[in-house]
């Protein structure tokens, strides 16, 4: 079926208008909002998209075949995602997907290093240009929608710090430490020693420079090391935005390592993008250009592995639209440096990066993405019985395993 015929049949929510270079215009849908415009620079774009929509929408944008009109990329993606829901595969296609998924996520240590380097070893100035001042490359926490990106990222780490229940002298492992942002904030606020792991040489270099500048070399250590290679034990483990790079075939091994590395009374906090929808596959354009080997887990996939390993889930929190707001901030900052990026890299790179940010933001609004914070422990009494400590700062006074005197016969 040609793409124009398919558009005429499928656009039932909102309106999509195509504008061609020769002045021709075509509109599909209801004529009402949401209203999106796609300016077609080369008619080949429609043929290419019709052959492989999941990949070619992004590819043709990178190639300059089309541009968004009024409302920008996000408005266009709203209409497309609202009218083209995820396909529920059946029969042979479903079995092919099941066979392909493990190969797409085969993140053994050597492959994981290559995949991480392909994204995180871009020039540091690029990330400094669109991230917050502390270089957090993960979902922020907007307890107040009006706060700045910097404040929201600090709030995220503070929220996680409370969930970790840090004690003086604790040894903390940060799996996927990025540029050392969380490790630095934890060490600045608590008397703890943090070991951060990254597979990116650029991140390790920059993180070590930041630690030296902060005078925290005796309390924060950054290693170029895979989580499968480190020896414990650790009192606390934190992992922010790294689980998306593990891959379903390695979930059991990952959570087994978390369990084995924890002390008996240890606590872990895993912060990851998740999906409200059942298990699926990574978009092929994202897999090719942005996160090779990456996969967003459904809650059921993560929980099944945790249950098999036998670690206790002591708290689950779902952050819904916080990442959409974070990505909007990143996109605005990227647009502010777009000319510089185009001059240093290319127009195609700029289009790739802005499409990545826009389609990611759209996924949190209209494709069932969210963020999971999983608090884990080897013992169920390792954390307080209620969530009061997260918001009041008060910890329960009695040991959690104590028995009230009147209950003793």
Question: For residues 271 and 372, is the Cβ–Cβ distance under 8 A?
Answer: yes
Using a 10 angstrom Cβ sphere, with 0-12 exposed, 13-18 middle and 19 or more buried, the burial of residue 296 is buried
How far is residue 234's CA from residue 195's CA, in Å, rounded to a whole number?
Answer: 9
User: Can you give the pLDDT at residue 393?
Assistant: 56
**For every residue of 1-23, which 3-state class applies, written as one string?**
CCHHHHHHHHCCCCEEEEEECCC
pLDDT at 402: 37
- The reported pLDDT for the residue numbered 297 is 95
Q: How high is the pLDDT of residue 253? A: 97
Q: Element (H or E) spanning 95, and its range? A: helix 91-104
What's the pLDDT at 168? 97
> What per-residue confidence (pLDDT) applies to 307?
96
pTM above 0.85, yes or no: yes
User: How far is residue 129's CA from residue 133's CA, in Å, rounded to a whole number?
Assistant: 9
Note every long-range contact of 146-151, with CB atoms under 8 Å and residues 24 or more positions apart, other chains counting. 149/326, 149/329, 149/330, 149/333
Contact of 164 with 228, CB cutoff 8 Å: no
Q: In the numeric block, which tokens belong to residue 318?
A: 């779902």
Question: What local confidence, expressed as pLDDT, does residue 142 receive?
Answer: 97
Sketch out the chain's domains with CATH numbers.
3-83 (no CATH), 109-390 (3.40.50.150)
At residue 6, the pLDDT reads 85
Sign of dihedral through CA atoms 254, 256, 261, 264?
A: positive
pLDDT for res 117: 53
- What is the predicted pLDDT for the residue at 403? 37
Predicted local confidence at residue 395, as pLDDT:
42
Per-residue pLDDT of the chain (409 residues; tens, 9 = 90+): 577 788 899 999 999 999 999 999 999 999 999 999 999 999 999 999 999 999 999 999 999 999 999 999 999 999 999 998 876 544 444 545 555 555 555 545 555 555 555 555 568 899 999 999 999 999 999 999 999 999 999 999 999 999 999 999 999 999 999 999 999 999 999 999 999 999 999 999 999 999 999 999 999 999 999 999 999 899 999 999 999 999 999 999 999 999 999 999 999 999 999 999 999 889 999 999 998 889 999 999 999 999 999 999 999 999 999 999 999 999 999 999 999 999 999 999 999 999 999 999 999 999 999 999 999 999 999 999 999 999 975 444 333 433 333 333 3
Q: How far apart are CA 389 and CA 360, in angstroms?
A: 33
DSSP β-bridge partners for residue 369: 275
Kindly list the distances between the CA atom of residue 123 and the CA atoms of 118, 157, 205, 262, 339, in Å, as whole numbers in the listed order. Answer: 11, 25, 12, 35, 16
């Amino acid at each position: 079926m040609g793409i124009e015929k398919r558009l005429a049949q499928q656009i039932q929510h909102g309106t999509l208008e195509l504008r061609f270079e020769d002045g021709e215009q075509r509109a599909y849908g209801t004529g009402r909002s949401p209203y999106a415009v796609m300016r077609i620079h080369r008619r080949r774009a429609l043929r290419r998209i019709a052959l492989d929509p999941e990949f070619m929408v992004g590819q043709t944008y990178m190639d300059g075949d089309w541009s968004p009109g009024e409302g920008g990329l996000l408005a266009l993606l709203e209409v497309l995602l609202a009218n083209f829901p995820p396909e529920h595969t059946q029969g042979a296609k479903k079995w092919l997907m099941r066979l392909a998924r493990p190969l797409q996520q085969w993140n053994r240590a050597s492959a994981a290093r290559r995949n991480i380097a392909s994204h995180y070893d871009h020039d540091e100035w690029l990330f400094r240009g669109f991230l917050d001042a502390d270089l957090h490359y993960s979902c922020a926490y907007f307890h107040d929608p009006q706060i700045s990106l910097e404040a929201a990222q600090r709030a995220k780490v503070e929220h996680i710090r409370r969930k970790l229940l840090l004690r003086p002298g604790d040894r903390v492992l940060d799996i996927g430490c990025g540029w050392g942002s969380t490790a630095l904030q934890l060490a600045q606020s608590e008397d703890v020693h943090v070991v951060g792991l990254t597979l990116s040489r650029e991140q390790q270099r920059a993180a070590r420079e930041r630690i030296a500048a902060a005078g925290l070399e005796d309390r924060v250590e950054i290693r170029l090391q895979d989580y499968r290679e480190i020896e414990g034990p650790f009192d606390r483990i934190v992992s922010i935005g790294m689980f998306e790079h593990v891959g379903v075939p390695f979930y059991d091994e990952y959570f087994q390592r978390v369990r084995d590395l924890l002390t008996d009374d240890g606590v872990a906090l895993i912060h990851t993008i998740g999906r409200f929808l059942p298990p699926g596959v990574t978009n092929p354009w994202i897999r090719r250009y942005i996160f090779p080997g990456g996969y967003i887990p459904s809650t059921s996939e993560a929980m099944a592995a945790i249950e098999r390993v036998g670690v206790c889930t002591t708290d689950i929190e779902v952050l819904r639209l916080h990442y959409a707001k974070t990505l909007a901030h990143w996109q605005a900052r990227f647009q502010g440096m777009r000319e510089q990026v185009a001059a240093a890299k290319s127009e195609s790179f700029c289009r790739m990066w802005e499409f990545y940010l826009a389609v990611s933001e759209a996924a949190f609004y209209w494709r069932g993405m969210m963020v999971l914070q999983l608090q884990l422990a080897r013992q169920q009494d390792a954390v307080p019985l209620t969530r009061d400590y997260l918001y009041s700062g008060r910890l329960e006074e009695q040991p959690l395993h104590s028995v009230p005197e009147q209950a003793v016969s």
